[in-house]
Amino acid sequence: MQPLVLLSFVGLALAGLPYQGLFHGRPRHGFVDHGARLSHQRAGKVVSSNAEDYPGVDTKWFTQKVTHFDDSNKDTYQQRYRYNNNFRKGNDIVFLLIEGESEASLRWAGYPKYQWLQMAADHGADAFQLEHRCFGQSRPYDDLSNTTLEYCLMEEALEDVASFIQGINVEMKYKNPKWVTFGGSYPGILSATFRSIHPELTVGAVASSAPLTFTFDMWEYAWSMEETFKTIPGCAEAIQNSFTHAQQMILDEDQRDKLNTKLKLNPPFTKTTNYIEFDNFFENLFAVFQDVVQYTMDGRNEATKGPEGKEIYSLCKLMTTNDDPIDKLWNVIVWSNDQDGEAITEFPNSYDDFITYLRNETFDDEADGLPQASNRGWLWLQCSQLGVQQSTDQGKNIFGQIIPINYFIRLCKDGFGEDFMSAQNQYDRTAALRKKYGTGNYKATNVVLPNGSFDPWHKLGFYTPDEENGVVPVPIDGTAHCADMYEEYDGEPKDLERARQIVRDNVAKWLK
């Protein structure tokens, strides 16, 4: 896979792109991101994306309708999926990993230590991985124009899953299939929601780190980060001090040059810098801290295994030194990138170039190893349906009022145009999806819902057990985003073992 630092495209300079670790709450290169690969390689591990390294995993194509809701549109597209037959015992037990807002990683289809494949081995299951429409090679049309993106909606993705299951049942001649779906993060939403709207097609669902309450302004994300930092003495106070200093220096024209120098901003702030550039700067700076908290101790790569890697404990050591408050921020930026295998010499800082980047409507992911198409697709899902924009509008907090919800409203407008993304349109579309799927009053049968206590997304999770219907929330202490899905590792948070056993027990119960 590719380095975290993006290469230039169509003449766009690297300086125009934001911090490379996280993009609005998602790994910049997808679930098993490119930085994860670099981290493994630095530790002497091999993380392959070559098909020959995953024998028994075939890449195939399934014909889908471009839209499941308009019979007048007869267009179809080819949706990519992978079939792992290494564990097959011909017992009509079928596992489906639903992919989400990035290219579907071959590693997730073939690496046998991931939990869903461990369970596939236990039960002799056929294992399928389905790529999400409009990501990777699963393209309803040849671009990501606004017209195409109107088909890149959660409702369409859910019906893709239904169509896929029904089609594979026929193709594989299953007699009495028992399907179980798996998904984490946004795919966790899909897995849980699919179980609630199509219970006839599966026997159960595992939905890891799934935010099931949709809200346009997810100020709870920063609130959760603050709670996590407060578990380490002195850390939250040090972060607050550094962010306060940065805000004060931006407001003082004479201090901006000092901030430019210490954080190596490119382009630097000037006396005439527009306010949107300040918001964009703080969004990129905040993302560095998001990236560390969201994946603390999840074990997805060597950097996040144990208390000496890329996690909150090491970050807090850097923040609680006697260094200058702004120097601390730069130290965290450098350390975070280094943990992902990439040195950083400057901090990208241009809103206009970022918008130019996001307006690119081409599928570039496979051609150049860039995540631009996935980032545009994910921003579309947020702006048009999910919301969950991570502002700091929760009131008094350690970060300050650095990222207002208006920043995201403008970003959506600038990225997709006022006609598609007026403020009212954004609110209305999120409200409509919330009413349909995401009120927080989740109803289903046979669903396990794991959530890590350090994961900021857990604030929108579902925690009301329903023993009669088999709805089982699983809070996991001391870990973060989707940690229950990865391989086991020495020194992992103690509560992970308990959580994984609950998942295994419930899957086994459904299959009986």
Asked if pLDDT for residue 13 goes beyond 50, the answer is: no
Residue 102 carries which DSSP code?
S
Return the structure tokens found at 23.
Answer: 């993009």
Asked if pLDDT for residue 20 goes beyond 70, the answer is: no
What percentage of the chain has pLDDT greater than the value 70? 89
Q: How far apart are CA 48 and CA 25, in angstroms?
A: 25
> 40 in a domain, yes or no?
no
Same domain for 155 and 271, yes or no, is: no
Asked if pLDDT for residue 100 goes beyond 90, the answer is: yes
Strand runs (DSSP E) across 376-470, as ranges? 447-452
Asked if pLDDT for residue 21 goes beyond 90, the answer is: no
> 42 in a domain, yes or no?
no
The residues that are catalytic are 185, 455, 481
- When mean pLDDT is compared across 42-56, 89-103, 105-119, the lowest value belongs to 42-56
Q: How far apart are CA 479 and CA 130, in angstroms?
A: 27
> 83 in a domain, yes or no?
yes
- Pairing verdict, β 204-208 and 447-452: parallel
Q: Are 452 and 476 in contact (CB under 8 A)?
A: yes
Same domain for 29 and 80, yes or no, is: no
Report pLDDT digits (tens) over 399-432: 999 999 999 999 999 999 998 899 999 999 999 9
pTM above 0.85, yes or no: yes
Asked if pLDDT for residue 15 goes beyond 60, the answer is: no
Q: 347 is in which domain, residue-wise?
A: 14-35+216-432
pLDDT score at 25: 64
pLDDT score at 3: 28
* Cβ contacts of 131 within 8 Å, gap of 6 or more: 79, 80, 81, 99, 103, 104, 137, 138
Residue 372: pLDDT band by 50, 70, 90 thresholds? confident
Residue 7: pLDDT band by 50, 70, 90 thresholds? very low
Helix (H, G, I), strand (E, B) or coil at 504: helix
Report pLDDT digits (tens) over 221-257: 999 999 999 999 999 999 999 999 999 999 998 899 9
Rounded-to-5 percentages of helix, strand, coil across the chain: 45, 15, 45
Question: Is the sign of the CA dihedral 166, 192, 183, 475 positive or negative?
Answer: negative
Mean residue pLDDT across the chain: 90
Mean pLDDT, residues 34-42: 44
> 1 in a domain, yes or no?
no
Same domain for 468 and 488, yes or no, is: yes
What percentage of the chain has pLDDT greater than the value 90? 80
pLDDT score at 452: 96
pLDDT score at 304: 83
> 108 in a domain, yes or no?
yes
The structural domain count of the chain equals 2
Report pLDDT digits (tens) over 108-167: 999 999 999 999 999 999 999 999 999 999 999 999 999 999 999 999 999 999 999 999
Q: How far apart are CA 55 and CA 61, in angstroms?
A: 18
| Closest CA relative to residue 405, chosen from 389, 394, 418 | 389
Return the structure tokens found at 151.
Answer: 């088909």
Helix (H, G, I), strand (E, B) or coil at 408: helix
Mean pLDDT, residues 3-23: 38
Same domain for 395 and 444, yes or no, is: no
Same domain for 249 and 183, yes or no, is: no
